[in-house]
Amino acid sequence: MQPALKGATPSPTASDEGRSAVRRRLLGYGLLVALPLLTAALLLLLVPDGGRRAVDAGLTSDNHAAAALLLAMAVVVGGARLAGLLAVRLGQPQVVGEIVMGVALGPTLLARIAPTGFAWLFPPGVIGGINTLAQLGLVLFMFGTGREAVRSSGDRVGRDGALIALTSLIVPFTAGIAVGLSLAGRFAGAAADSVTFALFVGCALSITAFPVLARVLTDLRMTGGRTGRLSLFAAALGDGVCWILLTVVLLLAQGDGMATLWRSVLLSLVAAGFILWPVRLVLARVLRSDAGLSTSLTLTIAVVGTAASSGLTALLGIHQLIGAFLFGLAWPVDPPHESRLGPSLDTMAHLLLPFFFLGFGLSVDLGDLPFTAGSLGVMGLLLVTAVLTKVCGVALAARFSGMDRKESATMGLLMNARGLTELVVLGIGHDSGLIDGRMFAILTVVALLTTLMTGPAVRRLGAAAEPAR
């Protein structure tokens, strides 16, 4: 008798166990949908006027506001998780599914097909709470990105990595500026002139999504190999430079005159120096030894420090995420202690990021994309520019560093993933009035498509066979 399940041993008991494990897993996924849905169904059955009354009252009473917030939490976290699991089944990184779910829960899909349900689930009072959770998730995520950037630069991939990072940045950035200058008249936001708009498009095209890259590398078992390490290092260095560029663009766009600009630049440097020098030294001293502090105190210092650094930069007029990234850079690389800190913070960030995806999804309406030849042409132009400059630029630099053709192409494809980081940058650009709503939607599609193509393209190149070190 052949066992029905792949990987199960021939004994019937083991096969039964395998089947019951699958059944349990399916039940687990089912619970994520069933709980919120059953809750709503039970409610609608038993309190026929409950839902409508709540919507009518604008959920002003304390009880209803609390209920809406909690149910929204359940739907957002559960939905993101489910979409992530589905994405993994389809050979994509989990984060891609979570992003798509965030966009789907917004005006793009849910508000279009079920406006009452949308208004019931996300009344105005709930949006503020979602943004708070998104804010916390994002600063913790940027703190993690900073820590990972330091860890990747610890690998000795020096000159080659720097060359690739520089190329991966300058080629798309220059091309982005050129394209941006030609589009500024039609798509610039209220606060942007053609120069700041073009600079922003340059930034947007040159971003590489560090965490998505890391996830793709893990999925393909490439983290140990030279290609994987080089691309991680290059992405870390490139992202650092990108955030500096973005800061300058934002300062330029505030347009308070040159004196204010220089004062802001000076303040930024003082803040960065303060976090990267005295704070870093004290942190290294405090967290140096394994026996020094309890896990819980370490975690508190991480959260307090991240919040304080972000708050500091936000007050100085620089974006708060830059402060969180800087604090991540200042955090000492210390494996034994890192292992204690990592899971809890990453778990929190992971649970909270869906709120950012939802907030992002609420602010963008892909259905509003003008499906005219002109708009589609612009999207195609940006997509082709983004992919070609990134893939070819990186591949050429990698070839120049002595990699073979396949490795170079893989490297280029890997750094083309823009994912989550790009969404953060686009959100900032949209909020600051650098790009208008249409350009926001167009660049969102470009970011999603470049991320979606990374896994399959690299897999097709057969790079997954590269032996891990």
Q: Which of residues 120-149 bind its own copies (CB under 8 A)?
A: 128-129, 131-133, 135-136, 139
Residue closer to its own copies (CB basis): 28 or 377:
28
Minimum distance from CB of 238 to its own copies (Å)? 26
> In terms of Cα–Cα distance, which of 91, 389, 402, 386 is closest to 227?
402
As a whole number of angstroms, the distance between CA 164 and CA 230 comes to 8
Region binding its own copies by CB under 8 A among candidate stretches 57-65, 213-221, 383-391, 461-469: 57-65
Q: Which of 11, 12, 16, 25 binds its own copies (CB under 8 A)?
A: 25
In the region spanning residues 204 to 243, those forming contacts with its own copies, defined by CB under 8 A, are: none
Based on the shown chain and the rule CB under 8 A, indicate whether residue 276 belongs to the binding site for its own copies: no
Stated length of the chain:
469
| Share in percent of the chain as helix, strand, coil (round to 5) | 80, 0, 20
Minimum distance from CB of 150 to its own copies (Å)? 19
Residue closer to its own copies (CB basis): 127 or 445:
127
CB neighbour burial string for 38-66, b if at least 16 within 10 angstroms, e if fewer: eebeeeeeeeeeeeeebbeeebeeeebbe
> How is residue 339 written in tokens?
């292992």
Q: Which of 223, 344, 363, 375 binds its own copies (CB under 8 A)?
A: 344
Based on the shown chain and the rule CB under 8 A, indicate whether residue 269 belongs to the binding site for its own copies: no
Based on the shown chain and the rule CB under 8 A, indicate whether residue 28 belongs to the binding site for its own copies: yes
Residue closer to its own copies (CB basis): 50 or 117:
50
Based on the shown chain and the rule CB under 8 A, indicate whether residue 339 belongs to the binding site for its own copies: no
As a whole number of angstroms, the distance between CA 381 and CA 317 comes to 33
Minimum distance from CB of 301 to its own copies (Å)? 6
Residue closer to its own copies (CB basis): 309 or 408:
309
How many helices (H) and strands (E) in the chain? 20, 0
In the region spanning residues 78 to 107, those forming contacts with its own copies, defined by CB under 8 A, are: 78, 81
Based on the shown chain and the rule CB under 8 A, indicate whether residue 281 belongs to the binding site for its own copies: no
Residue closer to its own copies (CB basis): 5 or 449:
5
Region binding its own copies by CB under 8 A among candidate stretches 74-82, 193-201, 210-218, 448-456: 74-82
As a whole number of angstroms, the distance between CA 101 and CA 381 comes to 26
Based on the shown chain and the rule CB under 8 A, indicate whether residue 270 belongs to the binding site for its own copies: yes
Residue type at position 44: L
68 by Cβ neighbours in 10 Å (0-12 / 13-18 / 19+) ranks as: buried
Minimum distance from CB of 22 to its own copies (Å)? 10
> In terms of Cα–Cα distance, which of 133, 61, 48 is closest to 355?
133
In the region spanning residues 288 to 317, those forming contacts with its own copies, defined by CB under 8 A, are: 288-289, 291-293, 296-297, 299-301, 303-305, 307-312, 314-317
Alpha helices (H) along 331-418:
335-363, 373-400, 405-414
Based on the shown chain and the rule CB under 8 A, indicate whether residue 380 belongs to the binding site for its own copies: no
Residue closer to its own copies (CB basis): 2 or 63:
63
Residue closer to its own copies (CB basis): 80 or 379:
80
Based on the shown chain and the rule CB under 8 A, indicate whether residue 191 belongs to the binding site for its own copies: no
x-marked contacts with its own copies along 5-24 as a string, rule CB under 8 A: ----------------x--x
Minimum distance from CB of 412 to its own copies (Å)? 31
Contact between residue 234 and residue 164 where contact means Cβ atoms under 8 Å apart: yes
> What residues does 188 pair with on adjacent strands?
435
Based on the shown chain and the rule CB under 8 A, indicate whether residue 35 belongs to the binding site for its own copies: yes
> In terms of Cα–Cα distance, which of 417, 8, 36, 21 is closest to 228?
417
Phi/psi class of residue 189: alpha, beta or left (left: φ > 0; alpha: ψ in -120 to 50)?
beta
Q: Which of 69, 188, 395, 411 binds its own copies (CB under 8 A)?
A: 69
> How is residue 41 written in tokens?
């169904």
Sequence-ordered list of residues with C-beta below 8 angstroms from that of 186, at least 6 positions apart, any chain: none
Based on the shown chain and the rule CB under 8 A, indicate whether residue 286 belongs to the binding site for its own copies: yes
As a whole number of angstroms, the distance between CA 276 and CA 443 comes to 33
Q: Which of 178, 274, 388, 438 binds its own copies (CB under 8 A)?
A: 274
Q: How many residues bind its own copies (CB under 8 A)?
A: 82
Sequence-ordered list of residues with C-beta below 8 angstroms from that of 438, at least 6 positions apart, any chain: 187, 368, 369, 370, 375
In the region spanning residues 418 to 437, those forming contacts with its own copies, defined by CB under 8 A, are: 431
Minimum distance from CB of 305 to its own copies (Å)? 5
In the region spanning residues 36 to 55, those forming contacts with its own copies, defined by CB under 8 A, are: 36, 38-39, 42-43, 46-47, 50, 54
- CB count in 10 Å sphere of residue 19: 14
CA distances from 240 to 142, 206, 232, 244 (A): 11, 12, 12, 7
Based on the shown chain and the rule CB under 8 A, indicate whether residue 381 belongs to the binding site for its own copies: no
